[in-house]
Structure 1
Amino acid sequence: MKADHYDSFAERYSAANESNLMNGYYERPAMLTLAGNVTGRRVLDAGCGSGPLSAALRERGAVVTAFDSSPAMVKLAERRLGEDATLLVADLSEPLPFDDGAFDDVIVSLVLHYLKDWTGPLAELRRVLRPGGRLLLSVKHPIAYEVVHPDGDYFALARWSEACTFDGHRVELTYWHRPLHAMTDAFTDAGFRISVISEPPMSPDTPRELLPPHLVDRTAFLSFIFFVLEAH
């Protein structure tokens, strides 16, 4: 994915992200629950988008630094978080401009599934975490590829795309599927210990009007998978 891919629809994506089902009532609440008490913790929001997660973490007492590869998204995050926020344009596929062990927690929300190679990014995320620090991340659940491509090979690394609509604007997003064991192998190879693998429910506050008919009587569904990893 090009670094500026989101620039062309950043405003629309940000508007949809605020209160839609997938982000507003599923992924973001789940990530904040996994993060727990972050008061006083140095947290890096890697791939921050327009900053809703950074804002929520800061409200909970975290000392937040954030970056995104999209300049347009960073501008939106600056608008949300204010001039005193530590925000920059950076690419997770390249060396990060932070010291070794600079953070207690790194949060990578719905970013890694855009990348074919996880080796370099995970090494950098491990480098900027202190020993014992946490990497919290969410990615497309590997079952999503199976649903869209029932004849595909679940065990193969595969590039796939889907059409998404953000605030009435239709775009195509492209992901890299990898099986669950490839994800966990990549984490352990990078020097992480797996603490949590989570398939969380949606928020209990989810408005019923946001739910498609097949989810109205359910509390959970498979879309993303979440991990909490410990640097060692």
Structure 2
Amino acid sequence: MPATPESSAGAADVAVENDYDGFAEAYAAENETSLINAYYARPAILDLAGDVAGRRILDAGCGAGPLSAALRDRGAIVAGFDRSTKMVELARQRLGDDADLRVADIAGPLPYPDAAFDDVVAALVLHYLEDWTAPLAELRRVLKPGGRLIVVVNHPVILKMEQREADYFAISKWSSEYTFNGQKAVLTYWHRPLHAMTDAFTAAGFRTAVISEPHPAPEARELFSDELARFPSGAFLSFLFFVLEAV
């Protein structure tokens, strides 16, 4: 969820679910400077990742590549994939023709050997999937023993904030409309309660090391003073961040 949703919609109203090829350029442009992505999700991921110099990192659902670029700038050896061909094209423009970028679907087999990476980042991608079993198994497969999986998903309270009558404990599908750089788009998600997330991580062979509800970057308070005026603590609910260790 890259921005505050403008309205909620039933999943049946969505013709093509999560059609990133259709709004890739607008999405990428919006998220270069947005509060939710540029000053909240990406800084929090980089803080959780810590010192990545020399580490091989897979950016799962890399989009247009801003996180891959930031990790590479910190000395990581980065590979990335995305289901959207257009997103991968934009990432290649950012990272260069020699970057290891591929079109692949996190819901299917991944084109990497076993134990290829020290870390995997799956940011804002798992919440599009109803079933996490096979994707988590693949992410565990491509990680070295002891490697880390950093996961960012919609905070499970978001559905209740959007739809007060919704059943928090049910795994359920819901959609919201956004405007990215002037272009309207609909994103469709699968809500799952917190215990369902942690149960899935454990079943896939991960130990939950960190669960984080971070503040935005310090400079966000001045840059987005109107949006953040409603949050005296400086924090708000949007995503939930995990650091998982492959066991």
TM-score range, shorter chain: over 0.9
Deviates more, 1:204-213 or 1:154-163: 204-213
The offset of 1:216, in angstroms, is 5.9
Deviation at 1:83, TM superposition (A): 1.1
Q: One-letter code of the match for 2:166?
A: G
In the alignment, which of 224, 234, 240 is matched to residue 225 of structure 1?
A: 240
> After the TM superposition, which segments of 4 or more aligned residues of structure 1 sit over 6 Å from their partners?
1-4
Residue of structure 2 in register with 1:44 after alignment: 58
Aligned to 1:81: 95
Stretch moving more, 212-221 or 147-156: 212-221
Q: How far apart are 1:3 and its partner, in Å?
A: 8.6
Distance of aligned partners of 1:209 and 1:59 in 2 relative to their CA distance in 1, 3 Å threshold: closer
The amino acid across from 1:219 in the alignment is G
| 2:132 matches 1:134 | no
1:214 CA drift (Å): 4.3
Partner of 1:122: 136
Deviations 1:129-176 (A, max 9, x none): 000000001000000001011111100001001111100111111000
Counterpart-to-counterpart distance in 2, 1:121 and 1:3: 19
The range that moved more, 203-212 or 138-147, is 203-212
Question: SS of 1:100's equivalent?
Answer: coil
Tell whether the 8 Å contact from 1:3 to 1:70 is kept in structure 2 after alignment.
no
Instruction: Say which of 189, 193, 209 aligns to 1:179.
Output: 193
Aligned to 2:5: none
**1:4 and 1:71 in contact (8 A); partners too:** no
**Structure 2: which amino acid aligns with 1:80?**
R
The structure 1 residue matched to 2:163, chosen from 124, 149, 172, is 149
Q: Is 2:209 the partner of 1:192?
A: no
CA distance in 1, matches of 2:220, 2:229: 15
2:106 partner letter: L
The aligned amino acid for 2:237 is L
Q: CA RMSD in A?
A: 1.5
Which of the residues 197, 209, 215 maps onto 2:230? 215
Q: Is the 8 A contact 1:109 1:139 kept in 2?
A: yes
For the residues of structure 2 that align with 1:177 and 1:4, how far apart are their CA atoms? 15
Give the letter for the 1:107 counterpart: V
Please tell me whether the aligned partners of residues 212 and 241 of structure 2 are also in contact (alpha carbons under 8 angstroms).
Answer: yes
CA contact 2:18–2:188 (8 Å) conserved in 1: no
Question: Runs of 5+ in structure 1 lacking a partner?
Answer: none
**Percent identical across equivalent pairs?**
60
Match of 1:168 in 2: 182
In structure 1, distance between residues paired with 2:229 and 2:72: 35
- Which residue is equivalent to 2:29? 15
Q: Distance in 1 between matches of 2:161 and 2:37?
A: 20
- Give the number of equivalent residue pairs: 232
Q: State which drifts further: 202-211 or 72-81.
A: 202-211
2:80 alignment counterpart: 66
Higher relative contact order (CA 8 A, sep 6+): 2
Task: State the TM-score, normalized to the length of structure 2.
Answer: 0.91
For residues 39 and 17 of structure 2, the distance between their equivalents in structure 1, rounded to whole angstroms, comes to 27
Structure 1 length normalisation: TM-score? 0.97
Alpha-carbon offset, residue 85 of structure 1: 0.7
Q: CA deviation at 1:104?
A: 0.2
Residues 13-56 of structure 1 show CA distances to partners (whole Å, capped at 9, x for unaligned) of 00001010100100010000000000000000000000000000
> Corresponding residue for 1:102?
116
Residues 133 and 200 of structure 2 are in contact (CA less than 8 Å); yes or no, is this contact kept in structure 1? yes
Note if contact 1:3-1:91 (Cα within 8 Å) is conserved in structure 2: no
Which moves more between the two structures, 204-213 or 190-199?
204-213
